[in-house]
Chain A
């Protein structure tokens, strides 16, 4: 079901409430890592969920940022999802649109159908400037077998232009790795143990090594993102970037983790959203 997620600067908890079919509201419940009611609400008799929390890298001093998360439409599972997305798009209840594409399923029919829906909507509005396309799972490309992020982004751009989008902004991202790195950084800051098993930590460590080994190659794909301003000198962000974080059986400096985090593209997305909000 659709989720409305509101960024409230400085809010320490993340809280949620569900709106029932008959209009009843559940009341705010604090979400925790151990116990989340969201999956119950998603399968129950509710029409929407509201969430409030602080997106730490988005500043609301001009306007408050709100994400309207639509259920992923997929013909084979639930036709209603497509109708809901269509309804949200046609009701004009948004100022900006973030479209997530999947590197591993590029060009599939479900994606094409949804892109067509968005392209038709923008054709009516005539405004192509307030949309960003994320190419998620860009780290699924095998760089050692000459699969190139920049080439893939170029291919996605051409595809989008063919679909009717004028000069699309495309950001290659690694959502999963970004989340894991941010959880590691938060654990380091709070001086608590990493909330991952040793097997998962070893996998994360391996992925960090991989993205750092190819940081220039990934950086090339991010270079043309407007207002991303990618640089690999994160030392100004933290006082002691030489500090070590142990992930699995590897020691990384804080600087290496922040470098890897920049390569995930999520900071570029945040800057892009922030710039759009400020304009």
Chain B
């Protein structure tokens, strides 16, 4: 069973950095 979180943001909002922070690594 999946809990799907859609991540929506305008450009330059830093959303990828937030996902990287949650992963703990700058890989995305």
Report if A33-B26 is in contact (Cβ < 8 Å); known contacts: A73-B10, A114-B10.
Answer: yes
A53 touches B3 (CB 8 A): no
Q: By the criterion CB–CB under 8 Å, are A69 and B15 in contact?
A: yes
* A118 within 8 Å of B (CB atoms): yes
Interface of B is mostly: mixed
Whether A273 and B13, one on each chain, are in contact in the complex, defined by CB atoms closer than 8 angstroms, is no
Q: Is there contact, CB below 8 Å, between A64 and B3?
A: yes
Residue A5, interface by CB 8 Å: yes
Main secondary structure of the interface of A (DSSP, over half): mixed
Contact A68 B13 (CB under 8 A): no
Assess whether B10 is in contact with A94, with CB atoms less than 8 Å apart: no
A74 to B22, CA, bound (A): 25
How does the 8 Å CB contact mask read for A75-93 relative to B, with 1 for contact and 0 for none?
A: 0010000000100110001
Q: Is the CB of B17 within 8 A of A98?
A: no
Q: Give the residue of A32, A55, A69, A105 whose beta carbon is less than 8 angstroms from that of B7.
A: A69
Residues of B within 8 A of A58 (CB): 22
A64 touches B5 (CB 8 A): no
A264 neighbours in B (Cβ, 8 Å): 21
What does the 1/0 interface line of A1-30 toward B look like (CB < 8 Å)? 001011000000010000000000000000
Residues of chain A with a CB closer than 8 A to B6's CB? 68, 70, 88-89, 93-94, 96-98
Is the beta-carbon distance between A179 and B20 smaller than 8 angstroms?
Answer: yes
Known: A64-B2, A70-B6, A95-B3. A57 touches B25 (CB 8 A): no
